[in-house]
Amino acid sequence: MSKNLETTYNPKAIESKLYDKWCENRYFHAEVDRDRKPFTIVMPPPNITGKLHMGHALDNTLQDILIRYKRMQGYNALWVPGTDHAAISTEVKVTNQLKEEGIDKKELGREKFLERTWEWKEEYGGTITSQLKKLGTSCDWDRERFTMDEGCSKAVEEVFIKLYEEGYIYRGSRIINWCPVCKTSLSDAEVEHEEQEGSFWHIKYPIVGTDDFLEIATTRPETMLGDTAIAVHPDDERYKDIVGKKCLLPLTDREIPIVADYYVDKEFGTGAVKITPAHDPNDFEVGKRHNLPEINVMNDDATINEQWGGKYAGMDRYEARKAMVKDLEEQGYLVKIEPHSHNVGTHDRCHTTVEPMVKQQWFVKMEELAKPAINAIKTGELKFVPERFDKIYLHWLENIRDWCISRQIWWGHRIPAYYCDECGEIVVAREMPGKCPKCGGTHFTQDEDTLDTWFSSALWPFSTLGWPDQTEELDYFYPTDVLVTGYDIIFFWVIRMVFSGYAHTEKSPFHTVFIHGLVRDSQGRKMSKSLGNGIDPLEIIDQYGADALRMTLITGNAPGNDMRFYNERVEASRNFANKVWNASRFILMNLDEKNLTKPEKLTNPADCWILTKCNQLIKEVTDNMDKFELGIALAKIYDFMWDEFCDWYIELAKYRIYHAEEDEKGANEALWTLREVLKNSLKLLHPYMPFVTEEIYSTLVPEEESLMISPWPVYEEENNFPAEETIVEHYKEIVRGVRNVRAEMNVPNGRKATIYVVCEDEAICKGLEELKNSAMMMAAANDFIVQHDRANIADDAVSVVVPDATVYVPLNELIDFEQEIERLSKEEARLNKEIARATGMLNNEKFVSKAPEAKVREEREKLETYKQMMEQVKERLEGLKAKQS
């Protein structure tokens, strides 16, 4: 047997050492092997601007658990890591860095700016990768990818050209999210909606040719300069006679039509709404249905433009709002202002309020591309865990709009579109054309825009495996198996990966989407910089170890549900690691120098019981893991190792271990069972707590190379011993019952008593006899007698009823009557004083009237407790005195 474990478990001393060993031996690496079944996960690529936060820690711990589990099951497990170029956030970082140096981005120029950005990426882009390693992530670092590496860039170009040639990509004017600070379009995924206090401004729109008006309520008065209609519901009786008429647009000399559209909610407000197609997504669709003009009243920096702004031109949108409201009031158009709380879209990077705006952009037509992704859920080719996310996924796909994919920034995949300088013809190609197909011109300018970051990450499951080339890896590892991600990006990323998979590989990129919730703080709040409630995973790892953090993140975790993070839970996880360490150390110390042999047949019920429990655990945990019930599986492993194995079985085995010279065979059976059960327990725990389990296992089983490539334990029917299981479960009830009696009667630990067990079942009696020596140790007994009747048992013996048996303990062996009477008399005197004190305070009118209500309530509760305790003490005293006499 090899060396023993260190006295105390020190994560810092082993984690980096073990991780280096795993990497050096390339245990994480997977090659194409047609003789083995593959299991593939692609890591949701974190941004190169990012640092490890609790969301990353949870997401990657879940993936690591799955990949370690499948690797141990014998699958050719591949976990592809990588990072995302994070176009906007990276551009902001580099731009700010340049500003600090006094350099203007535009003066620097595109090429020089991109050089600086690549330098920044090389210096800072690997931060999160190194942090993920501290968590113990067992991904194939030999295959690490980046969304702008040569292979991914080739895939992006291929997809853009293919979709353009097939008519799915087009350039046109549509409503998009616009950031006035970053001056770029944004995807829905880059817009965060936050509750903001605002107002409803009620405004009169005079009906032309009448003295009547329509009352319209808006949260953004500044956009009314772009109104091109008023809409009412077609079935609204109030407005049927005015549909087709016109309204005068306040503050302008324009007249706008009144149209009927089912978009309007006739029950909300006045049932009439302003339609501003260039500044509202819903209004844009209404405008298309009624052929309304699209009037964009804003410049790119959200100031009011010259063309439509009139006296408000040049004003910031909020400055214009104030001026316009003032003018509306002065001119008699303002009816009232109501406070209104509503969701406002903000840019997730700079937190500027986003402005919906019609812009000339590149779009992907989504209606046809979405159909296979919808069908995948309906046919079961793709499933969500938990299933409830199916509905949300389908809702988004069935109501999907065309996807704006162009961004007005430099960092990213530049759009492969070229404009003829002579005639403006657009040519989409892999390189700059030599000649214009329309006019024959030879001078072209490439589109300045880059592609939405999500355009490249949508291809991630197959671009990382070599697509568009038909590589061996793509053929073998694709489609991948499971995508693990949070519910907050299902619709922006998952949907895009699924429709892209079908569009370019004719397959779903994965068969299962495993959804997890958010990690919240102890008060249930989302962790954020603004609240200052974020918890750094690296600090937790430094203080408690990676295993403790991983266990905390999975304990009680259910798919799709948020969890709260408490430091107390991390301490509990660390305590569990210490418990396993100390138990393993005890076992290793007793195994040292011993040549164990596998018993032909186990003779002690305790050995059979723990093997049965472990065997059942293997079956249940494997089943839970296959169903993605990782939190449930961990809870079962925890309960088994802490309670059944450490607190019961090790204690049951101690007598035979300590008396090996009396019974070598029994000691061998106990030690062999301890080693066997510990081995399998460590295997089950390994995906969750890889470091502590690897360190123990390498000492326990030095002949094996590594626990992480050791085979997963398998349920075996022959390892079930139901009769022995019944015996030990009865034994546990007996020990618990005796311990409870001793605790209730305050029996000192050193005072031993005889335990009588009366049981008629012969098999149980025989089994309990075999556990006699252990029972005497665990229940502080000087003798453990199993019999069929109450013969020779004192009448005053304390009894404990357990299934199929009754346990008796002679009262005079449990307590010293004189000593107990003296102790209870002192307790009676103490309680009398407390009752008198509390009664006096509560009878004092000044105290009751002036003291805080909580303090008065506390004293009343104390008095009630003291009275109950006094009743118990008196009853006990009377009983003892009666028995003494």
Q: Are 803 and 772 in contact (CB under 8 A)?
A: no
630: which DSSP letter? H
Nearby residues of 383 by Cβ (< 8 Å), 6 or more positions away: 377, 390, 511, 512, 513
- Which of 551, 685, 552, 632 has the alpha carbon at shortest distance from 386? 632
The span from the CA of 460 to the CA of 140, in Å, is 15
- In angstroms, what CA-CA distances link 583 with 12, 389, 696, 735? 20, 42, 10, 21
Non-local (6+) Cβ contacts of 73 within 8 A are: 711, 712
Q: What does the longest C-alpha to C-alpha distance in the chain come to?
A: 123
Q: Answer yes or no: is 636 a known binding residue.
A: no
Specify the DSSP class assigned to residue 491. I
Asked whether 385 and 494 are in contact (CB, 8 A), the reply is: no
Both structure tokens of 43: 């890591």
CA distance 878 to 872: 10
Which one-letter amino acid corresponds to residue 486?
G
Token pair, residue 436, equals 């214009």
How many angstroms separate the Cα of 212 from the Cα of each of 205, 242, 245, 270, 330? 9, 10, 12, 14, 19
CB contact at 8 A, 4 and 699:
yes
The gap from C-alpha 762 to its chain's centroid, in whole angstroms, comes to 52
What single DSSP character describes residue 449? -
Torsion of CA 735, 750, 586, 769, to 10 degrees: -40
One-letter identity of residue 444: F
Task: Write a three-state SS string for 93-118.
Answer: HHHHHHHHCCCCHHHHCHHHHHHHHH
**How is residue 7 annotated by DSSP?**
S
Cα–Cα distance for residue pair 463/472, rounded to 1 Å: 13
- Residues of the binding site for ATP: 529
- Residues of the binding site: 529
